[in-house]
Copies of this chain bind each other. A is one copy, B any other.
């Protein structure tokens, strides 16, 4: 038998934090006793509770306390986070703490320090002398790095349910295609406008269906209006964007008639080949190969392009990062400062990006296939607003909303 006291503070009831904590305790087969409880007497006051958690063994208790901390509970007796040194490059200490994507602090030298560059499923490295803590993916840790182990001295601030209806208040809602989309699109536009007003970055993750459905003009318009600072994509969208510029087709389908053109299947290879001959996307643009598509407009407006390769790629296009870890690192770097993320018609890149984004980034996942949105949610990007709709419609309406 082992026990420990934890505390919770904030809008812990209506944000489902306390219910989740109790549920986790029960699910673990442990017990609890409420030692203190101060309920906010109205919707503007916060609540406080102190709970004794009782488990069968110290080991089970430890596991459970760690789980509760991820939900926002905090041990009453505060201790510094424990660390262990990395002894093998790219390998973490056994009991390493694995992050969530929510704002996280670690206690270093008696002070709570915010973990820099928070993202999901990575380790926390502590520099005691500098009083700093930051995330680092497994393969990047070096011998000597001090990595947080166990759960003590770590605290997570779960996102609270917003007090009032807000732009992204419907974020948690179930995935459904049977909803009026205009409202959601309006909210996304608002969030983008807000981000731009103070220089926040906006990220677009784009799949090739954007070009197949003839929506590249809408993306270009958004770029021209200053609403896109970063684009993540793969070889395919770039190949099809150039194919559309050179031949007016996408995967061989004429974008003006919707009919396959003769030999069209070859056009995306010819497009890739042409850019390879030019040497780079920038050189291809100078030679006038890119027309007015997504890439051309992005290059013209200094949008950061992070292109990641995959095993199904033809070519690939110059500029595509073929090493997946290098590409991930470039994406990790590029999400810094991103406040709004639009993940459109892309599964692989959307999931990869979802893994890198802090929970506080306002994200919207747009796909005509509900399974894609469900999949993202299954993998932890639960904060994203999911829209099951035609991506062409979505981008056109978004560009219209942001036209003036």
Contacts and interface: CB of A to CB of B under 8 A. Distances in A.
Interface stretch (A26-34, A188-196, A292-300): A26-34
A138 to B, nearest CB: 6
Interface string A18-32: 110011111110011
Q: Is the interface of A mostly helix, strand, loop or mixed?
A: mixed
Contact of A91 (B137, B212, B255, B276): B276
A404 interface: no
Contacts of A266: 98
A181 to B, nearest CB: 7
As for how many copies of this chain the complex holds, the number is 4
Interface in A153-205: 161, 163-165, 170, 174-184
A98 B165 contact: no
15 contacts: A14-B22, A18-B19, A19-B19, A24-B262, A27-B165, A31-B42, A34-B42, A66-B262, A88-B276, A121-B269, A138-B314, A176-B378, A180-B212, A311-B348, A370-B374
Interface stretch (A102-110, A282-290, A324-332): A324-332
Interface of A: 13-16, 18-19, 22-28, 31-34, 37, 39-43, 49, 63-64, 66-67, 88, 90-92, 94, 96, 98, 121, 137-139, 161, 163-165, 170, 174-184, 209, 212-214, 253, 255-259, 262-263, 265-266, 269-270, 272-273, 276-277, 308-316, 322-328, 331, 347-349, 351-352, 355, 368-371, 374, 377-378, 380, 388-390, 392-393
A150 to B, nearest CB: 11
Given A34-B39, A265-B380, A179 B355 contact: no
Contact of A137 (B37, B314, B323): B314
Contacts of A351: 312
B312 A355 contact: yes
